[in-house]
């Protein structure tokens, strides 16, 4: 075995500690790697630990796939495996975590109303969130001139939205020269002139976003199924009294 320095030993210990190994497990694993193949008694003497303790640790290492166990003349022999198995072990754990993330998100979404506030240039970050919508529908009650100021010219929201196949259902304050292109996946109605909104509301999935003006520089996002249901009911009422575009 190549001799390693104390700083290297410390580095190995710190990394293995971080991924869940205690010091006794690390010492045992390093000794198995060092010896390559050994019996329980040899390890116990080398590590200066009771047989029962070392055996318990070896069993855990075996279950994790880090060492192998064979029988030789009625005795168990513990064999080292390539250390790259550590990486595969972590990759396997990451896959398992990936599988439960949606379940954890469901729990968080059902049990918590989350509110985040955005200021000035970060207001545009909300549109990135909207483009991740699962139901592929975004609703808005909008003063388009204000939204354009918030987004800026570089953020091509329509192009990105269409690329992802997301429909926009929009109630807008009256503006000039509105043209509807079917390729843009948009439905628009014009609000009555008496409803001259200056702020904007956007909602999708279980999320509602409220925008102040560009000058005010504040917006906030709430994750709440009940708020979305309320906004949808209000939206449907406004849709019925709003004007179709010829």
The full set of domain ranges for the chain reads 6-81, 113-244
User: Are 241 and 193 within 8 A, CB to CB?
Assistant: no
Q: CATH topology for 113-244? A: Endonuclease; Chain A (3.30.870)
Contacts of 113 (CB under 8 A, 6+ apart): 222, 223, 224, 227
Query: What is the token pair recorded at 15?
Result: 């990394």
Q: Give the integer Cα–Cα distance in Å for 137 and 185.
A: 10
User: Are 37 and 23 within 8 A, CB to CB?
Assistant: no
For the chain, the first-to-last Cα distance in angstroms comes to 82
The domain 6-81: what is its CATH number?
1.10.10.10
On the question of pLDDT at 241 being above 70, the answer is yes
Q: How confident is the model at residue 169 (pLDDT cuts 50, 70, 90)?
A: very high
Q: Write down the H helix ranges in 22-111.
A: 23-35, 40-47, 51-63, 85-111
Q: Give the integer Cα–Cα distance in Å for 221 and 135.
A: 18
On the question of pLDDT at 168 being above 90, the answer is yes
Query: What is the reported pLDDT for 177?
Result: 64
Q: How confident is the model at residue 110 (pLDDT cuts 50, 70, 90)?
A: low
Q: How confident is the model at residue 153 (pLDDT cuts 50, 70, 90)?
A: low
Q: How confident is the model at residue 101 (pLDDT cuts 50, 70, 90)?
A: confident
Please state the pTM of the whole predicted model.
0.54
Q: What is the pLDDT of residues 71-94, one digit of tens each?
A: 888 889 999 899 998 888 888 888
**113-244: same fold as 6-81?**
no
């Amino acid at each position: 075995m190549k001799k390693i320095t104390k700083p290297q030993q410390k580095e190995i210990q710190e990394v293995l500690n971080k991924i869940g190994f205690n010091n006794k497990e690390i010492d045992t694993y390093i000794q198995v790697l060092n010896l390559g193949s050994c019996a329980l008694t040899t390890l116990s003497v080398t590590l200066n630990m009771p047989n029962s303790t070392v055996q318990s640790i070896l069993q855990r290492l075996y279950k994790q796939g880090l060492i192998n166990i064979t029988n030789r003349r009625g005795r168990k022999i513990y064999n080292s495996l390539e250390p790259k198995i550590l990486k595969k072990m972590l990759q396997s754990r990451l896959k398992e975590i990936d599988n439960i993330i949606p379940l954890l998100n469901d729990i968080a979404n059902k049990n918590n109303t989350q509110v985040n506030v955005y200021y000035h240039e970060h207001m545009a970050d909300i549109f990135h969130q909207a483009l991740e919508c699962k139901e592929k529908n975004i609703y808005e009650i909008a003063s388009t001139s204000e939204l354009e100021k918030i987004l800026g010219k570089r953020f091509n929201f329509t192009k990105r939205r269409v690329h992802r196949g997301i429909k926009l259902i929009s109630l807008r304050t009256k503006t000039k020269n509105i043209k509807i292109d079917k390729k843009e996946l948009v439905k628009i109605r014009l609000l009555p002139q008496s409803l001259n909104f200056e702020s904007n509301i956007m909602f999708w999935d279980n999320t509602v976003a409220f925008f102040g003006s560009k000058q005010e520089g504040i917006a906030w996002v709430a994750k709440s199924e009940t708020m979305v249901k309320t906004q949808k009911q209000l939206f449907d009422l406004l849709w019925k009294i709003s004007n179709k575009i010829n």
